Chains A and B, each alone.
Chain A
Amino acid sequence: GAVVSQHPSWVICKSGTSVKIECRSLDFQATTMFWYRQFPKQSLMLMATSNEGSKATYEQGVEKDKFLINHASLTLSTLTVTSAHPEDSSFYICSARIYSPEAFFGQGTRLTVV
């Protein structure tokens, strides 16, 4: 199956700093990528949908100025958490689709803000 690589797997940052998470489709061109957030023992919550070359579509309640998403190419989407605070600590997962029913997921990134 198709491979989606997410980097880093885990990151610790200081409160007030920004952190960037990368999501790459390694062997296919992803027209659409999705960013999810998952709290412990909870389900995946969609944050935004990212299409190559256009602005991301954010779900209601997600701060677009805090969670910057860039989809500059068909194989790379990035999520930048700006001015991170402890409440932003979570598990972030990206997913990609290429005109198929199946969605391919990255390994996830555990963000801890101290």
Chain B
Amino acid sequence: AQTVTQSQPEMSVQEAETVTLSCTYDTSESDYYLFWYKQPPSRQMILVIRQEAYKQQNATENRFSVNFQKAAKSFSLKISDSQLGDAAMYFCAYSSQGGSEKLVFGKGTKLTVNP
């Protein structure tokens, strides 16, 4: 079974600074998807960024980018120019390839942004 590990229960960053959230996973599959989801206090899950395992290029979405190291099974999220609205729980998630596969979530990292 696949597992996702987030080793940082909490992180903090100063506004406008950069922070990196760590995620490692374990799988025997070669094709899969990796995600970072944000859960603000409203508890609505919001997709931040997605990476397909077959793609060597790291995904980017505006201020958010990932460092995907397939051999090391590592998938970290970098948030640049942090904003107060970035404060939330961040969950790393894994999904097998296929449109009806479940997501396996890590335990989450609580990000605090200090003004």
Contact = CB atoms under 8 A, between A and B. Distances in A.
B33 interface: yes
Contact of A44 (B95, B99, B100, B105): B105
A102 B99 CA distance: 8
Contacts, number: 58
Interface size of B as a range: 20 to 34
A108 B44 contact: yes
Contacts of B101: 97
A113 B97 CA distance: 38
A42 B107 contact: yes
Contacts of B52: 101
Contact of B106 (A1, A43, A51, A97): A43
Contacts of B99: 31-32, 97-101
B45 A93 contact: yes
Interface of A: 1, 31-32, 34, 38, 41-44, 46, 49, 51, 91, 93, 95, 97-103, 105, 107-108
Interface in B61-97: 91, 95
A41 B88 CA distance: 11
Given A43-B91, A43-B107, A44-B105, A99 B44 contact: no
25 contacts: A31-B100, A32-B99, A34-B103, A38-B43, A41-B110, A43-B91, A43-B105, A44-B103, A46-B103, A93-B43, A97-B100, A98-B99, A99-B100, A101-B35, A101-B95, A102-B47, A103-B35, A103-B47, A103-B95, A105-B44, A105-B45, A107-B42, A107-B43, A107-B44, A108-B43
A65 B107 CA distance: 27
Contacts of B110: 41
A102 B93 CA distance: 11
A112 to B, nearest CB: 15
A109 to B, nearest CB: 10
